[in-house]
Amino acid sequence: MLTETRSQAIIESYVRGILEEIGENPNREGLLDTPKRVSKMYKEVFSGVGIDPRTALTTTFEGEQYDGMIVVKDIDYYTFCEHHLIPFFGKVHIGYMPSERIIGLSKFARLVELTAQRPQVQERMTQQISNAIFDVLNPKGVIVSVEGQHLCMCARGVKKPGSSTVTTVKQGVFKENDSLIREFERSLESGRR
């Protein structure tokens, strides 16, 4: 494994090379510190690489005999498409039916953040979030819906700004219980009118 300083120097060198290859002058005033800034940004936005998403779900509690659905919605995320290394972003909505354990609600935001801190595709991100919750809490069921706007589709290629993608993963009781799915969908609509 490379040292942090060596890794930063390599990334800076590549960024300088990219700037040169697109016809820019990496020594002009506005670009002089760009390789350093990009290297620092990559360290931050890809800090989840190699970290198991389940590690975000610490500190579970007894479920207090809670028998309803728990929904945490509108969790913002920002990540990078692994195909073009440009951003996609949106909101994550999580619903689960606890079995014996519940978890601090802020842990869901941390889970979303951790899965977003790596080159990503929306489908995998949705599955990783769902699997982590299902594996750690062993709930009766979990449903995760992710909305995303992909700059690789909006700003380049087909250039369709305003388009969005929705991915959904259902596990446990959500796989076959349409009334639970409708309840989850209604909870997403509440407060949006």
Active site residue 83: yes
Active site residue 122: yes
Residue 126, burial from CB neighbour count under 10 angstroms (0-12, 13-18, 19+): buried
Of the residues 20, 62, 82, 100, only one is catalytic, namely 82
Active site residue 93: no
Structure-block tokens of residue 60: 């579970």
Of the residues 20, 62, 83, 100, only one is catalytic, namely 83
What is the Cα–Cα distance from 143 to 127, expressed in whole angstroms?
10
The answer to whether the beta carbons of residues 136 and 80 sit under 8 Å apart is no
Of the residues 12, 93, 113, 122, only one is catalytic, namely 122
Of the residues 84, 154, 183, 185, only one is catalytic, namely 84
Of the residues 152, 154, 183, 185, only one is catalytic, namely 152
Active site residue 189: no
Active site residue 82: yes
Of the residues 117, 120, 147, 150, only one is catalytic, namely 150
Of the residues 12, 81, 113, 171, only one is catalytic, namely 81
The answer to whether the beta carbons of residues 101 and 62 sit under 8 Å apart is yes
Compute φ and ψ for 51, nearest 5 degrees: -105, 130
Active site residue 152: yes
Q: Which residues are catalytic?
A: 81-84, 122, 150, 152
